[in-house]
Chains A and B, each alone.
Chain A
Amino acid sequence: MEVSVIGTSQATFCSGGELAPCSRELRFCVPKRNGDALYFLDRNSRRRCRNSRLQLTLTAAAQSEPVRSDSFPVQEPATIPDSVNKVKLFVGLPLDVVSDCHSVNHARAITAGLKALKLLGVEGVEVPVWWGLVEKEEMGEYEWSGYLAVAEMVQTAGLKLHVSLCFHGDRQHKVSLPRWVLKIGESNHSIFYTDRSGEAYEDCLSLAVDDLPVLDGRTPLQVYKGFCESFRSTFAQFLGSTITGVTMGLGPDGELQYPSHHQPSNNNIPGVGEFQCYDENMKDQLKQHAASLGNPLWGLAGPHDAPTYNQTPDSSPFFNELSGSWQSPYGDFFLSWYSNQLLSHGDRLLSMASNVFTDTGVTTHGRVPLMHSWFKTRSRALENTAGFYSTDGKDAYEAFAEMFAQTSCGMIIPGMDLSDDEQPDQSMSSPEMLLKQIQAACKKHGVGVSGMNSGLRLNGFDRISKNVVGDENNVVDLFTYQRMGAEFFSPEHFPSFTQFARGLNQPFAGLDSDDLPTEETLPVEAPVPSNAEMQTA
C-alpha cells in the first residue's frame, strides 16, 4: 500500500470511514476502445477520477484485475469534499537516463532523486525510451536491459512509471534513429520528411511511409508495433503496477506534428515554419488526392507562395492576413489534406498502441504540440505548417480530440507553464488561449488531458498551478514536469519545485489557515551568501 503524502489533506479522506466509498472506483483509469467517453464524462466523474489515485493504490495491494466497464457509476460519493482536486504529478527522468551501452546514467543521483520525489509526494516519473537505443543495430533486436534497470529502480523507490516511447531522434541530445533505419535512409531519402528546398529531416520517419514496406520489407507501422509488443512482453511484470501509462511517439519530438519548425530561430520571434510535404511519397499522395478531387494541377507541389522557416506570415502571400491564399479554395484543399494526413497518421499509431496495451492496466497517451506563435493572427500559420488546420473559422483540434477519443488515448499537452505575458508582442502568440481551445475540444469529446511544461523555469510554476488545478474548465488529471537533472535539483530551482509540488497536493478547504498553500509561488529567495561564491569556488 502506498498513499500520497505530504499534503495534510490525507487526514481528511484517509480516515477509515471514508475509504470504502472510494475503493469501488478503480475502473476509471482503464482505457477502453468502445468510443465512449473515457476519462471524464462530466465534472462529477472527473472529480472522482482525481481521487482514484488513493483508491487505486489501496486496491492495488490485492492486485485485483482492473475492471472494465461500459458505463460509469453516476452517483457521486457524498463523503468526498467538493473541493478536493488532485493531480498526479510526474517528473521526467533525464533524456539520457539510459546510456548508449544500456547502463543507467547517473544511477546514484537518480536513486537519491527518486527518494526525494517520493518523499515530496510525487506520483511517479516519466522515462523516455528511445527507439534508436533499444532497436539500435538490427530490426527486431531489442535491448531493454537499461530500461528494465530503470523500471526496477522506480519500483524500488515506490513510484509509478510513465513510459514515453520515442520513435524520433533528438539531435541536441545526440540520439538518432536506429542505425539500420538511417542506413536505409541513405539510399532512400524519401522515408524522411522533406521540405521545399529538398532538405530531409532525419530525426523521424515521414508519415507517408507508415504503411509502405520501406524498412526491409516491413512497414514502419509494423516495426513500431513490434517494438511496442516487445516492450509489453518484456515489461509485463511492471505493467499496471509500476508502469501506469505509455505515451506513443507520434513524430518529431514525439509530438503529433510535422517537423515544420525544426530550424532554430535566431531571434525571439519564431517564424512560421515550412510545409513538409516534399518527400516522394507525400508528393504522390498529394497528386492522387488532387486528382481524385478533379484538380490535378493542385497536386503538383505544395503552396508555392508559402514563407520559409523563420519568416513571418506576412512575408509572402500564402499566409497573408487579409489576402492570403490560405482562404482560397486551393488553400482549403491543401491545408485540409495536409492536416488530414497527420490526423490519419495519429489514428494509425494510436489505434495500434491502444490495441497493444489494452488489458495491461496502463493508459495510452499521445502528445500534441502547443504551437502558440501567430495564434492571434487569422491564418495561424505555425499551427498550419505543423499540421493543424486552424484558421479563422477552422478548428483542427476538434477532429484531433475526436480521434484521441476514438482510440481511447489520453492527450498530453505541453507548454502549460507558458503565459501570454512572457511572449514577445510581435509573435502574436497566446499559449493560454490555444491551451484553452485544445482543452475545450478534449472536454467535448471526453478525452483525458495530461499536462507538461516546456522546460525548467523558475517562473512557470504559477501558470502551471493555474492550468492544472485552476478553473472548472480544466480537465487535467496528470502533470509531467520536465525534467530531472542537475538544474532540477539546483538550489535555485528545487525549492520552487518543492513548493509547487506541495501546493499541488494541498486541498483548499476545511483546514487551518496555516496549512493553506502560499499565494505566491515566487522563487525562494536564497540568502545572499548562498550561490554567489559557490559558483566561483
Chain B
Amino acid sequence: MSSVTVEPLLRYHRRTEVSGLRKVANPCCSSSSLNCSRQKLFHRGKCKLRMRRRSTAPFVIRASSSSSSSTALAETFESSGDVFFRHSFPVTQTETVEGKIFVRVDQENGKGNWHLTVGCSLPGKWILHWGVSYVNDIGSEWDQPPKHMRPSGSVPVKNYAIETPLKKPSGDDPFYEVKIDIDPKSAIAAINFVLKDEETGAWYQHKGRDFKVPLVDYLLEDGTVFGSNSFVIWPGPFFSNILLKPETDSTREPDDVKREDRKVEGIYEEQPITKHIAIENSVTVSVRKCPETSKNLLYLETDLPEVVVHWGVCRDDAKNWETPPGPHPPETVIFKEKALRTLLQPKEDGRGCSGLFTLEEGLAGFLFVLKLNDNTWLKCKGNDFYVPLSNSSILLSESGQEHFKDAPASVKALDQNQGSDTAFTNEIIKEIRNLVSGISSDNSRKVKTKEAQESILQEIEKLAAEAYSIFRSSIPTFKEEVVLEEELEQAPPKKSSGTGSGYEIVLQGFNWESHKSGRWYMELKEKAEDIASLGFTVVWLPPPTESVSPEGYMPKDLYNLNSRYGNIYELKELVGKLHELGIKVLGDAVLNHRCAQYQNQNGIWNIFGGRLNWDDRAVVADDPHFQGRGNKSSGDNFHAAPNIDHSQDFVRKDIKEWMRWLREEIGYDGWRLDFVRGFWGGYVKDYMDATSPYFAVGEYWDSLSYTYGEMDHNQDAHRQRIIDWINATSGSAGAFDVTTKGVLHAALERCEYWRLADEKGKPPGVVGWWPSRAVTFVENHDTGSTQGHWRFPGGKEMQGYAYILTHPGTPAVFFDHVYSSNYRSEIAALLAFRNRHKLHCRSIVQISKAARDVYAAIIDEKVAVKIGPGHFEPPNGPRKWSPALEGRDYKIWESS
C-alpha cells in the first residue's frame, strides 16, 4: 500500500483583505495558470514514466496468460493461407499515468442546495474516505458526518469516518465522482477526506495530509490548521443568500463583496495524481514461407511505439543465440556478435510499429526480446520470446489439421493452467504417456513429439524459475564478486555508484565526544591540512542536524543545522576548507528515525515539527511505542525514536528534497547512512539516485553467527545480508564491512589467523565478495571511542590497519587512532604506502597463508602483507620482495 502525495495544480485561492473585509478571488481567474501548470505537469509526467517505476531491473513482463492471446493478428501480412505460425504475445508493463482529482463545491439551481463533489479522472475503484469536523472541535480529529449527509452506498468505518465509493455519473463521463450534500446550517466546520484506490490500496492525500474543505470562516482566521493552502471559502452557518457565481467573480469589483458580511462561493480545485497501472500491449508474430525462395518471412508488429527488437536465431531446441547472415532489415545493427538489433518502423496507421525479417531455411527458431529504452526490456514470462520456424511444427496454425489436435490443446493447457501446477504437470505427463504408447503414424508422431517438447520445455523453464526464486529467497546465495563486477560493467552506465574513484581512503572525522567542545567544526577545520597531508581523500562528518542527543543521532528538525558540533556557517566553512584541499565530505544522514516535536492526542510523541511537519502517518505502524499510522516498517525498528515510514511518497519526496538541499547548500559530496537495517535498501537507491553522491556508505550492522559462544568460521550468511542490502540499493551505496571487523576480532583475539581465508580461499568479509562496495574499518564511534560497544582487540589495532589498508575495499580510519593514540605515525606510513602503490577498492588479493598464527596475502602482485606473530616471507621468485613497513605482528613488503 502506498500513499501518493499530490500537488495542487491550481494556485491556491488568495484571500485579500480589503478594508477589513475579505475578498476571495475567483478560482476561474487562475485558469491561465491552470494551462501553464498542465504543460509543466505533462512535461514532468513524461519524466516520471522512467523514474517512478518500482524497479529498474529489466522489466518483468508478466504476460498474463489468461488474457486473450490470439487477438490482434497481423492484418497487413499477406494471405493467411501459408502463414504457418501466428501468435500474439501479450506484454504488460506498469506505467505511471497522470490524472487529476477535482474538488468542487457548488450549488444546484441556485436553490441553496450545496454539494461537495469529489471526482477523479483515472480509472480505479475509488473510495472517498471522509469525516467532518465540528465547529467546536479542537485539533484535527474527525467525526462521522450526520446520517443525512451520507450518500447512498456509504459505509461507516470505525466511529470517525465514512467510506463512499465514487461512481461514474454516466458511461461516457471521464470522471468518477461522489457528491455530498452540505447543509449550510449545520455546525460542521470542515469536511476532511482522503481518496483511496481499492484496486491498488493506495491512499491519495494532499501534501501528505488530509484534504480539508473548511466550511466556516473562523477556521480561516484561526489559520493554524490550514495555513494558506486550504481550498476554503465557505460562509458557514450564517449562510446568506448572496452567492457569487464563479463565472462572474473575476469581473466583480471588490466593492460588491465588501457589502457582504459573508461570502458564499463555489469552489473548484484540481490536483494532479499519479497511479501505477498495467498497460497491456501485444506483439504479434506471423511467419510465412516464401514459396519462391523457400525462405521464411517473419512479420513482427506491435502496438508499442518505438521498439528495438534484440534478436537472434537458433538452430536447435537449446535456443543458443546466433546471428543469421544478412540481409537484415533496415535499421539493424549487430550487437556484440551475439544478437542483432533492429529498430521497428512505424506502421502506416501510426499505431505502433512493425518489421519484416527474412530468414533463411534450416533455422529452428527466432528468438527476441524487446528493448524499449536502456533500462526497459520486455520479455516473455521472464524468458526470451521464441518463435519456432521449422515448417513441421505447425504449432499455432489457424488451419490446424485433424491429427494435430493434441498439440494446440497442450498449448492451451499452458495458458490456462498456470494456477494449478499440479494438474497441469499431470496433464503433460499424461500426454507424454500417450505420446509414447499410443502412436499411430510416423509422421504425426514426429510432429507431436516436437510440439510436446516445446510445451514441456516451456513448462520446465517455468517450474525451474519458480524453484529458483524460492530457493533464492530462502537461503543465502553466494554471489561472486567477479560476476557482480563484470555485470556492473555491462550494465548501462550508472548515475552513481557511490564508490568514488576507487582509490578513496576515508577518515571518520569525529568520535563520541566530539560534540563536547561545541565547536568541533572549527577544531576539525584546523586539522584539515594535516588530514590532507596524511593522504585521506574523504572525511566523514558527524550528523549535522538539530538532535535530541548531543551526538546528533536523534535528529529533530532536519532543516535546522545548528548542532552541538557548530552552526551551519561553521559547517559550510569546514566543508569549504576541505574542498579546497581536495577532500570529499560525507554527511551523516540519519534517515531511519526522527524525534517528534509534539504529542498526539494520546500523549505520544509522534508529530514532527520544523519545516518537515509530518504527522503520525510518517511513522511506521508496527512500533507500538509510537502509534504510527504509516505502513509497517520495511526493516528493523530502532526503538528509541519514531521510525520513519519510507514507503510514504511524501516522506520520500521530502527526504530527497532535504538531501538535495544538503548537497547544494552545505556541499556534502556523499553520505554515510545511519542504521540502514531499519528500512528497505530500495528506498536508499531512490535517495542515491536523487542526490548522485560521489561516495555513499551504509551502516548495516547486525550480529555475526556464533555457535556455542564461538564465532563460526563461515560468516557467509552475515556478509550475505550486507550484500543483499547493497543489492537492494542496486549497488548505489557501499556498506561498512562489519563481517571483516568481526573476523579480525576473532582471528587476532584468539590467535586464529586461519579465519582470514574463507572456504574458497578468499577474504571472509564483504570485501571477499564485493570489494568495491565494502568499506572496511577497524573502529568507529559506536564500537570504540567512549562507548566501546564492540571494541577491537586492544593493542592489535595496527594489525587491523595493516590488513584493511593493504586490502581491497575502501578503508575507513577512525579519528581517535590518528589523533589520540600513538598509532599516528604507523597509520600515516600505511596511508602513504597504500597511495604510493595505488591499491584500490578492487585490488586483487591472493591469500598466501592462513594458518593458526599468521595470515599473509599478496595484493595486486606488488604488495605482500602478513599479520600475526607467525613466520612468513614472500617467496622470492621472478619478483624480488623487499620489506617496506614493519610493526608489532605485522610486516609489509613491496616488490621491486
Enumerate B416-432 residues with CB–CB distance to A below 8 Å.
421, 425, 428-429, 432
Q: Which residues of A contact B (CB under 8 A)?
A: 1-3, 5-6, 8, 10-11, 14-15, 105-106, 108-110, 112-113, 115-116, 118-120, 158, 171-172, 174, 264-267, 484-491, 494-495, 498-499, 502, 512, 514, 518, 520, 522, 524-525, 527-537
Interface membership of B475, Cβ < 8 A: yes
Q: A136 CA to B183 CA in the complex, in Å?
A: 76
The smallest beta-carbon distance between B698 and chain A, in angstroms, is 15
The contact sample of 9 A-B pairs, CB cut-off 8 A, is A2-B429, A158-B429, A264-B757, A267-B848, A494-B464, A528-B490, A533-B491, A535-B727, A536-B730
Q: A208 CA to B846 CA in the complex, in Å?
A: 39
Q: A524 CA to B318 CA in the complex, in Å?
A: 8
Known A6-B453, A119-B429, A525-B321; contact A113-B58, beta-carbon cutoff 8 A: no
B484–A535 CB distance below 8 A:
yes
Question: 0/1 per residue, B726-754, Cβ < 8 Å to A?
Answer: 01001100000000000000000000000
Known A118-B425, A527-B339, A535-B484; contact A485-B320, beta-carbon cutoff 8 A: no
Of chain B, the residue at the smallest CB distance from A512 is B446
Q: A302 CA to B470 CA in the complex, in Å?
A: 50
Q: A524 CA to B449 CA in the complex, in Å?
A: 23
Interface membership of B474, Cβ < 8 A: yes
Query: CB-CB < 8 A to B449: which residues of A?
Result: 8, 11
Query: CB-CB < 8 A to B491: which residues of A?
Result: 532-533, 536
Known A106-B470, A525-B338, A537-B730; contact A266-B848, beta-carbon cutoff 8 A: yes
- Return the 6 tightest CB-CB contacts between A and B, nearest first: A537-B57, A109-B470, A486-B471, A489-B468, A116-B463, A113-B467
Q: A2 CA to B449 CA in the complex, in Å?
A: 17
Of chain A, the residue at the smallest CB distance from B318 is A499
Query: CB-CB < 8 A to B490: which residues of A?
Result: 528, 532
Q: Which of these, A6, A116, A527, contacts B464 with CB under 8 Å?
A: A116
Interface membership of B155, Cβ < 8 A: no
Q: Which of these, B312, B459, B472, B727, contacts A527 with CB under 8 Å?
A: B312
Query: CB-CB < 8 A to B310: which residues of A?
Result: 527-529
The smallest beta-carbon distance between A157 and chain B, in angstroms, is 9
B390–A514 CB distance below 8 A:
yes
Q: Which of these, B390, B445, B477, contacts A11 with CB under 8 Å?
A: B445
B320–A115 CB distance below 8 A:
no
Query: CB-CB < 8 A to B714: which residues of A?
Result: 172
Of chain B, the residue at the smallest CB distance from A113 is B467
Of chain A, the residue at the smallest CB distance from B489 is A532
Query: CB-CB < 8 A to A11: which residues of B?
Result: 436, 439, 445, 449
Known A1-B433, A485-B471, A533-B491; contact A112-B466, beta-carbon cutoff 8 A: yes
B464–A113 CB distance below 8 A:
yes
Interface membership of B572, Cβ < 8 A: no
Q: A337 CA to B863 CA in the complex, in Å?
A: 47
B460–A112 CB distance below 8 A:
no
Q: Given A486-B477, A529-B310, list of 16 further CB < 8 A pairs?
A: A2-B433, A15-B439, A106-B475, A113-B463, A119-B459, A485-B475, A490-B468, A490-B472, A494-B468, A498-B318, A498-B460, A518-B318, A524-B320, A532-B488, A532-B491, A537-B57
Q: A512 CA to B335 CA in the complex, in Å?
A: 33
The smallest beta-carbon distance between B754 and chain A, in angstroms, is 8
Of chain A, the residue at the smallest CB distance from B761 is A266
The smallest beta-carbon distance between A10 and chain B, in angstroms, is 5
Query: CB-CB < 8 A to A495: which residues of B?
Result: 318-319
Known A529-B369, A533-B56, A537-B57; contact A112-B470, beta-carbon cutoff 8 A: yes
Question: 0/1 per residue, B134-170, Cβ < 8 Å to A?
Answer: 0000000000000000000000000000000000000
Q: How large is the interface on B (under 10, 10 to 19, 20 to 34, 35 or more residues)?
A: 35 or more
Query: CB-CB < 8 A to B375: which residues of A?
Result: 533
Interface membership of B850, Cβ < 8 A: yes
Q: Which of these, B319, B433, B487, contacts A536 with CB under 8 Å?
A: B487
Q: A112 CA to B470 CA in the complex, in Å?
A: 10
Interface membership of B364, Cβ < 8 A: yes
Q: Which of these, B390, B436, B471, contacts A10 with CB under 8 Å?
A: B436
Query: CB-CB < 8 A to A172: which residues of B?
Result: 714, 759
Query: CB-CB < 8 A to B318: which residues of A?
Result: 495, 498-499, 518, 524
Query: CB-CB < 8 A to B320: which residues of A?
Result: 518, 520, 522, 524-525
Interface membership of B465, Cβ < 8 A: yes
Interface membership of B457, Cβ < 8 A: yes
A14–B436 CB distance below 8 A:
yes
Q: Which of these, A10, A14, A533, contacts B57 with CB under 8 Å?
A: A533
Interface membership of B437, Cβ < 8 A: yes
Query: CB-CB < 8 A to B446: which residues of A?
Result: 512
Q: A240 CA to B477 CA in the complex, in Å?
A: 36
Q: A2 CA to B428 CA in the complex, in Å?
A: 13
Interface membership of B866, Cβ < 8 A: no
Enumerate B631-689 residues with CB–CB distance to A below 8 Å.
none
Q: A92 CA to B184 CA in the complex, in Å?
A: 76
Query: CB-CB < 8 A to B472: which residues of A?
Result: 486, 490
Q: A138 CA to B646 CA in the complex, in Å?
A: 51
Query: CB-CB < 8 A to A171: which residues of B?
Result: 713
Q: A2 CA to B432 CA in the complex, in Å?
A: 10
Enumerate B472-490 residues with CB–CB distance to A below 8 Å.
472, 474-475, 477-479, 483-484, 487-488, 490
Q: Which of these, A1, A15, A110, A536, contacts B467 with CB under 8 Å?
A: A110
Q: A294 CA to B470 CA in the complex, in Å?
A: 63
A109–B466 CB distance below 8 A:
yes
The smallest beta-carbon distance between A468 and chain B, in angstroms, is 19
Known A486-B477, A514-B316, A518-B318; contact A528-B339, beta-carbon cutoff 8 A: yes
Query: CB-CB < 8 A to A502: which residues of B?
Result: 317
Q: A105 CA to B475 CA in the complex, in Å?
A: 10
Q: A529 CA to B433 CA in the complex, in Å?
A: 38
Q: A292 CA to B312 CA in the complex, in Å?
A: 74
A264–B56 CB distance below 8 A:
no
Known A118-B425, A527-B312; contact A267-B436, beta-carbon cutoff 8 A: no
A528–B445 CB distance below 8 A:
no
Known A266-B849, A486-B477; contact A106-B58, beta-carbon cutoff 8 A: no
Query: CB-CB < 8 A to A120: which residues of B?
Result: 460
Query: CB-CB < 8 A to B711: which residues of A?
Result: none
Q: Which of these, B436, B467, B474, contacts A105 with CB under 8 Å?
A: B474
Question: 0/1 per residue, B500-530, Cβ < 8 Å to A?
Answer: 0000000000000000000000000000000
B731–A536 CB distance below 8 A:
yes
Interface membership of B55, Cβ < 8 A: yes
Interface membership of B847, Cβ < 8 A: yes
Q: A488 CA to B707 CA in the complex, in Å?
A: 29
The smallest beta-carbon distance between B332 and chain A, in angstroms, is 16
Question: 0/1 per residue, B62-105, Cβ < 8 Å to A?
Answer: 00000000000000000000000000000000000000000000
A266–B57 CB distance below 8 A:
no
Query: CB-CB < 8 A to B421: which residues of A?
Result: 112, 115
Interface membership of B377, Cβ < 8 A: yes
B761–A267 CB distance below 8 A:
yes
Query: CB-CB < 8 A to A112: which residues of B?
Result: 421, 463-464, 466-467, 470
Query: CB-CB < 8 A to A264: which residues of B?
Result: 757, 759, 761
Interface membership of B210, Cβ < 8 A: no
Question: 0/1 per residue, B439-465, Cβ < 8 Å to A?
Answer: 100000110010001001101110111
Interface membership of B336, Cβ < 8 A: yes
A106–B471 CB distance below 8 A:
yes
The smallest beta-carbon distance between A261 and chain B, in angstroms, is 14
Interface membership of B371, Cβ < 8 A: yes
Of chain B, the residue at the smallest CB distance from A54 is B436
The smallest beta-carbon distance between A252 and chain B, in angstroms, is 16
Query: CB-CB < 8 A to B433: which residues of A?
Result: 1-3
Interface membership of B622, Cβ < 8 A: no
Known A109-B474, A485-B471, A527-B338; contact A119-B456, beta-carbon cutoff 8 A: yes
Q: A498 CA to B461 CA in the complex, in Å?
A: 9
Interface membership of B384, Cβ < 8 A: yes
The smallest beta-carbon distance between B598 and chain A, in angstroms, is 39
Q: A518 CA to B43 CA in the complex, in Å?
A: 53
